[in-house]
Amino acid sequence: MKRKECIKAYAYLLPCLILASVFFLYPFLNTLISSLLRINTSGVVLGFAGLSNYALLFKDKSFQNSILRTLLFTSLFVPLNTFLTLLASSLTARKIKGFGPVETIFFLPVAISLSGATLIFKEMFRGRVSIINRLLGLEIDWLNERFPAMLTLVFLGVFLDFGIDYILLLTSFRAIDKRVLEAAEIDGASSAQIYFHIELPLIMRMLLMTVFLAIKDALLIVAPIIILTEGGPFRSTETILFYYYIEAFKSGNRAVQNTVSTLMVLSAALVMVIYSLIFHRRDKK
Amino acid sequence: MKKILIFAFTLFLILPLFSSGEREKGVTIITIWHPNSGLIGEAFEELVNDFNQTVGKDENIQIEAVYQGLANDVLTKVKAAAISKTLPDIAQMDATAATDMNNADYLVTMRDLGLREEEILINARNAFSSEKGLLAMPFNASSLLLYYNKDVFEENGVEPPKTFDEFIEIADKIGEKDEKGNVTRYALQGVPTTFELTSFIGAQNGLSYIVNKKNGHEGLPTEVLFGKEGTYKAFLEKWKELFDTGYLNSITSGVSTEFASGRSATMLQSSSNLSTVIDSVGDNFRVGVSEIPMVNEKATGGVAPSGGAMFAFTNSSEVRKVLEYFMRDDVQLKWAELTGYIPLNVNVYESEEYRDFIKENPNFHVAMSALNGSNPNLTNLWLPSAYQIYYSFQKNIDDVVNERITIDAAVDEMVTTIKDALESYEAQNIV
C-alpha cells in the first residue's frame, strides 16, 4: 500500500521533474561542463581547459568592474526598495475609506512593461534640461555622470519592483488576525508597540521574501541597463549580466558565456540556500 | 456528429500551421535579413520592389526582405540560425560581424560566388576583405563627419576646423558662456570610441593601424600598434587640450539631441545619420558638414569607411544576380539619393545624374569625397571583444580629460586591454 502511494506521488511529480530536468538541470550541467572546455566562437570544442576559463574571467578588469558595480547597485537598491515598499504598505495597511485609489497607484507599476517604464525614465532624466531637473530645481546631467546614472538605475529598479513587493506586503499586513491587534489595544499597547512588536514580526516572513527577491533582481539586472544606460557613462553601470550580454551575446565569447552562467546560477542558489536556512531557523523557534 | 464537428473545427484551427503558402512554380525566393528601418527601411523596400518587378520577374527570382533589428542583432540571429541550419540566403550586417563571418564555415565569399569586384569602390572593398578575399558585398557605406551649426560658424566668422589646433583656437568663439560662467553652448560634445579612433589614429602619418595585420584584416592581430607608434598619445594630447578650453563636454549619450537643440556647435557622427540629423534640426539652424579635423599636419590618411555589407550564405547564381543588382550603378545611385549612403559603384561618379544630385545636396557630397580621398588601405578595426574595447576607450578618454590618469598610463591601459582581449580570444579559438 505504502509503496503504491509512493509510486503515485512520483507519478504526479513526474511532469514537473521532466520539465525541470529538460529546462533546468540539463542546460545547467551542459553549461557547467562547457565552462571547463575550450570552445571557439563557432561552437566547436577544441579541448579541455580546466579552470583556465575561470582564471581568464577573473583576470579581466571589465569583469572585476562589473562585480563591483553589481554590488554597489545591490547595496543601494535593496535597502531603498525594502524601506519604501514597507513604508507604503504600512501606511495603507488599515483600510480607510477613499484610499482605494492610493492602493491602485502604488500597485500600478506592475501594469507597466519593463521596457516601457525604462523608456519613460530615459526621457524623464535626459540631459540637463530634463523633466526631473525642472521639477526638483537641479542641474544634474543624470545619465551622463557616473554616480547619478547609477542612482537613476536604482530609482528605476525600485519603480519596477515596487508594485509587486507592495502588494505582497499589503496582503500579509491585512492577513494578520484582527483579534490579536484588538487584544493588544485593550491591554493599552501604543500603535508603535503594536506595529513593531506584533505586526512587523508577523509579516517578517513575507518581508524577508521580498528582500531576497530584491537581492535576486539586483544580481540579475540587465534589461533596464541595456535600454537606459548601455552600461555607461564610462562603464559605471556595467553590471555582471550586462558584461555577460555584450561579451557573450554580442562578441560571441563562449568562455564568458559558460563561466558567467555557471557562476550566476551558483550565486543565485547560494542566495536561496541562505534564505531557506533563515526560514528553517525561524520556523524551528 | 459532435465529435466530427469538433474534429473538423480543430483541423480548421491547426491547418494554417502546416500551409507553406502556395508559391508560383519555378520561382526562387531569396531571403535577405536586413537592419534598415525608418527612412532607410523605406528606401530599401523600394529597391527590393524594383528588383521583384523587373529583373526578378524576368529571371524568376523574388527577394523576401526581412527586418531583423539593428545590424548587430542581425549578426546574433545569423549565428543562432547557423546552428539550427535556418540561415537566410543573404544578411546585411556591419563590420562587427566581420570577425565572426571570417571564421564561419557557412559563409559564401564573393570569390566563391564569382561576383565581379572591380566596380566596387576600393576603400569599401578593403573594409570587408580578409585573407580569404572579399567576404561580403559592401552595400551601405558611410564615413565619419564633423557636423556643425552653420549659423554659429557664420555669426562668428569662422570656418570649420581642418586640424585639432584650429579647433582649439576657435573653441571659445563657437562656444558660449552665460554671465555666471556656465557653458550654454559647447564647441563639441561626445567621447570618441573605436569607430572615431580608427580614423583619428588611422589617418596619422598617412596610414596607421590600431593593431597589426592591417587592423585584423589579415588574421588575428598579435600586436597593438598605437602604443609604440605614439598615435593614440598624439590624439589624447590634442583631445585633452580641446577639453581644457572648457568647451568640450565629455558625454556619451544624447549627443545628437544636444546638437539639434543648439547646445553644441559641432558633433562627430557617421554620414549615415545625415538625413536624420537634418530632419531633427528642422528650422532651428542650418546644418553643415565637413571632413573631420586632423590630429596634426601629418595626419593625411583621411577616414576609415564604415557601414555595412551583404553577406551570402547560399552559393547560387540567383544570389549572385541579386547582389549584382544591388551593385548596379543606377541602383547604387538611387540608394545614395534616398539615404545619403556613399555610392559604391565607381561608375556612378561619372554620371550626369550624380553630378546634379550633389549640386543640389552639397552636404551629401562631403562624405563621398572624404572617403574617395582617403587612403584605401585605411580600414575599420576587426577585433574580438569589440564592445568591451569600445566602452574601454570611452572610459579611458574620459579618465584622461578629467585627470584621473596620465596620458601615458592611459595609453598603457588601452594597450593592455586590447592585448588581454586578443590573448583570451587566442586561448579559446586557436587550435
Residue A198 domain-assigned?
A: yes
DSSP element (H, E) containing A192:
helix A191-193
Is the Cβ pair B251, A141 closer than 8 Å?
yes
Is the Cβ pair A247, B72 closer than 8 Å?
no
What pLDDT score was predicted for residue B19? 47
For residues B13-26, average pLDDT: 55
Question: Which backbone phi and psi does A84 adopt, to 5 degrees?
Answer: -70, -40
Q: Does B7 score more than 70 pLDDT?
A: no
pTM for the whole thing? 0.84
Looking at the complex, does the CB of residue A127 fall below 8 Å from at least one CB of chain B?
yes
Would you state the cell numbers that stand for residue B237, as one nine-digit string?
594630447
Q: Which chain A residues have a beta carbon less than 8 Å from that of B72?
A: 250
Other beta carbons within 10 angstroms of residue B422's beta carbon come to 20
Q: Which chain B residues have a beta carbon less than 8 Å from that of A46?
A: 428-429, 431
Other beta carbons within 10 angstroms of residue B184's beta carbon come to 11
* Cα distance between residue A203 and residue A85, in whole Å: 13
Looking at the complex, does the CB of residue A60 fall below 8 Å from at least one CB of chain B?
yes
Task: Report strand pairing: A37-39 vs A45-48.
Answer: antiparallel
Would you state the cell numbers that stand for residue B430, as one nine-digit string?
586557436
Which residue does chain A place closest to B426, by CA atoms?
Answer: A40
Number of domains in chain A: 1
Q: Which of A69, A234, A64 is nearest to B394 (CA)?
A: A234
Which residue does chain B place closest to A123, by CA atoms?
Answer: B254
Q: How close A53 comes to chain B (CA, Å)?
A: 9
Looking at the complex, does the CB of residue A44 fall below 8 Å from at least one CB of chain B?
no
Is the Cβ pair A41, B387 closer than 8 Å?
no
Looking at the complex, does the CB of residue B184 fall below 8 Å from at least one CB of chain A?
no
What pLDDT score was predicted for residue B373? 84
- pLDDT, tens digit, for every residue of B186-222? 999 999 999 899 999 999 988 899 998 888 888 888 9
What pLDDT score was predicted for residue A80? 96
DSSP element (H, E) containing B150:
helix B150-155
Q: Which of B197, B194, B191 is nearest to B390 (CA)?
A: B194
Is the Cβ pair B76, A250 closer than 8 Å?
yes
Looking at the complex, does the CB of residue B385 fall below 8 Å from at least one CB of chain A?
yes
Other beta carbons within 10 angstroms of residue A54's beta carbon come to 18
* Cα distance between residue A209 and residue A97, in whole Å: 29
Q: Does B22 score more than 50 pLDDT?
A: no
What pLDDT score was predicted for residue A137? 87
What pLDDT score was predicted for residue A1? 60
**Domain enclosing residue A235, as ranges:** 35-284
Average pLDDT, chain B: 88
- pLDDT, tens digit, for every residue of B299-313? 888 888 888 999 999
For residues B114-124, average pLDDT: 88
Q: Quick one: pLDDT band at residue B24, thresholds 50, 70, 90?
A: low
Among A217-221, B10-14, B115-119, B412-416, the range scoring the smallest mean pLDDT is B10-14
> Which residue among A41, A42, A144 places its CB closest to the CB of B252?
A144
Is the Cβ pair B76, A246 closer than 8 Å?
no
Looking at the complex, does the CB of residue B280 fall below 8 Å from at least one CB of chain A?
no
Residue A11 domain-assigned?
A: no
* Cα distance between residue B366 and residue B388, in whole Å: 31
Q: Which chain B residues have a beta carbon less than 8 Å from that of A62?
A: 388, 391-392
Is the Cβ pair B428, A46 closer than 8 Å?
yes
Which of B397, B398, B428 to mutate to probe the A interface, most A CBs <10 Å?
B428
Q: Which of A269, A276, A274 is nearest to A32 (CA)?
A: A269
Which residue does chain B place closest to A245, by CA atoms?
Answer: B387
Looking at the complex, does the CB of residue A52 fall below 8 Å from at least one CB of chain B?
yes
Query: Does this complex have an ipTM over 0.85?
Result: no
DSSP element (H, E) containing B290:
strand B287-290
> Which residue among A141, A231, A253 places its CB closest to the CB of B385?
A253
Which residue does chain A place closest to B385, by CA atoms?
Answer: A251
Question: Which backbone phi and psi does B315 adopt, to 5 degrees?
Answer: -95, 95
Q: Which chain B residues have a beta carbon less than 8 Å from that of A234?
A: 252, 391, 394-395, 398-399
* Cα distance between residue B98 and residue B198, in whole Å: 16
What pLDDT score was predicted for residue B398? 93
Q: Percentage of residues in chain B with pLDDT exceeding 90?
A: 42
Residue A30 domain-assigned?
A: no
Beta bridge partner(s), residue A174: none
The dihedral through the CA atoms of B116, B120, B126, B127 has a sign that is negative
What pLDDT score was predicted for residue A284? 66
Looking at the complex, does the CB of residue A2 fall below 8 Å from at least one CB of chain B?
no
Residues 179-198 of A with CB under 8 A from B: none
Looking at the complex, does the CB of residue B53 fall below 8 Å from at least one CB of chain A?
no
Domains of chain B in sequence order: 27-142+306-371 (3.40.190.10), 143-304+378-429 (3.40.190.10)
Q: Does B240 score more than 70 pLDDT?
A: yes
Residue A273 domain-assigned?
A: yes
Q: How does A164-191 read in b/e, with b if 16+ C-beta sit within 10 Å?
A: bbbbbbbebbeeeeeeebeebeeeeeee
Residue B211 DSSP symbol: B
Residues 204-223 of B with CB under 8 A from A: none
Which residue does chain A place closest to B104, by CA atoms?
Answer: A42
What pLDDT score was predicted for residue A83? 95
What pLDDT score was predicted for residue B8? 66
Residue A208 domain-assigned?
A: yes
What pLDDT score was predicted for residue A130? 84
* Residue B223 or B430, more confident: B223
Residue A23 domain-assigned?
A: no
CATH code, domain with A81: 1.10.3720.10
Looking at the complex, does the CB of residue B100 fall below 8 Å from at least one CB of chain A?
yes
Which of B220, B249, B253, B392 to mutate to probe the A interface, most A CBs <10 Å?
B253
Residue A190 DSSP symbol: -
Q: Quick one: pLDDT band at residue B21, thresholds 50, 70, 90?
A: very low
Residue A175 domain-assigned?
A: yes
Beta bridge partner(s), residue B30: B63
Q: How close A112 comes to chain B (CA, Å)?
A: 23
Q: Quick one: pLDDT band at residue B11, thresholds 50, 70, 90?
A: low
* Cα distance between residue B41 and residue B67, in whole Å: 8
Q: Quick one: pLDDT band at residue B182, thresholds 50, 70, 90?
A: confident
Q: How does A249-264 read in b/e, with b if 16+ C-beta sit within 10 Å?
A: bbbbbbbbbbbbbbbb
Positions of chain A with pLDDT lower than 70, given as ranges: 1, 283-285
Residue A179 domain-assigned?
A: yes
Looking at the complex, does the CB of residue B70 fall below 8 Å from at least one CB of chain A?
no
Would you state the cell numbers that stand for residue B191, as one nine-digit string?
567621447
* DSSP SS3 for B18: helix
